[in-house]
Amino acid sequence: MLSFQSKQEIPESTIQLYTNSFGQLKNIAAIARTIDKEKFTSKEFINFLMLNRQFESNAGAYEGLRNSIELLRVALETKESFLKIEATETRYRSFSQQEFYDYVYNLLVKDMEVAQFQEAIQKQLVRVIPKIKSDEGKAAIQSYVNHLETVCKDKLGLKLLYLFKQYDMSNFSLLRTVGEIADSFYDKDLDSLKEFMVVVQVNADIFLKLGQIIQVPQKKNVPETYAITLQYIALRNRHQNSFAQFQQLLGLLRQWENFYNPIIAIAKEYPPSEYKQPDIFKADIPGLEIYNKYQTHL
């Protein structure tokens, strides 16, 4: 082994690069520690990450189901507005109101962009309001439009409303039942699929009927599909805030990695057996423990 005096000098520019990179690692690691949570390594959260990867890639158990699951998610999130739309169309049936409902359906058939749809609805509302005699009827049609806007705030909502109307407006009531089932898992263990299977099998007719509306592929229109769908939606609802934080953490670790790689390369190129290394080369790398913990997710 070479004595310290006989070891080579590391170029000053290289030491400066190492020092700057080390400082960046230190800053990023400090932020990462404030975001890191014990929950990110919990069994249930890890299970959600695995299922979410399958869902996002339309693979595994969720192959061919992404569109249907997204439609069901939107349906459950806006079910109260769907039910109000159904109730209004059932109760308020004057000629002008029925004409307005038909106008809405015809717009849905055209598969318009959201902004175009909403603009057309508002223009038609201005035309139809004077034709409705009662204040109650006018208030009802205004409320109807408000709920339309809630449901149709994106293309998925437009498509979903069209699908429900295409089949049968009375199918909106399915959402109440499915929504109650989904809500029943709010505080339950979501790791086991068995509980979801039991509930789906008891309500198989409802789910199979709903499957036709949300375009579940025919070969997938079986109870198992709705069990994994409910499980995914329940996990997503429970962990959506944590997932956003986790994604933020992964983003930081990717930045961290950009400064870590030069440090590793420099350390490899200038080993202590041959070069005079300053003290900073011997210091523990900030954030390495967090990086190692989540490296498989990057």
Share of the chain above pLDDT 70, in %: 98
Tokens 């962009």 -> residue = 113
pLDDT band at 91 (very low <50, low <70, confident <90, very high): very high
pLDDT at res. 246: 99
Whole-number average pLDDT of the chain: 95
Answer yes or no: are the C-beta atoms of 239 and 11 closer than 8 Å. no
Is the pLDDT assigned to residue 290 strictly greater than 90? Answer: yes
pTM of the shown model: 0.86
pLDDT band at 4 (very low <50, low <70, confident <90, very high): low
Share of the chain above pLDDT 90, in %: 91
Q: What is the mean pLDDT of residues 195-217?
A: 94
pLDDT at res. 6: 77
pLDDT at res. 167: 82
Is the pLDDT assigned to residue 287 strictly greater than 90? Answer: yes
Is the pLDDT assigned to residue 297 strictly greater than 70? Answer: yes
Is the pLDDT assigned to residue 2 strictly greater than 60? Answer: no
Q: What is the mean pLDDT of residues 61-88?
A: 95
pLDDT, tens digit, for every residue of 169-204?
A: 667 788 999 999 999 998 899 998 999 999 999 999
pLDDT at res. 38: 96
pLDDT at res. 21: 98
Q: How far is CA 95 from CA 48, 102, 131, 161, 176, in A?
A: 50, 11, 9, 22, 29
pLDDT at res. 147: 97
Is the pLDDT assigned to residue 73 strictly greater than 90? Answer: yes
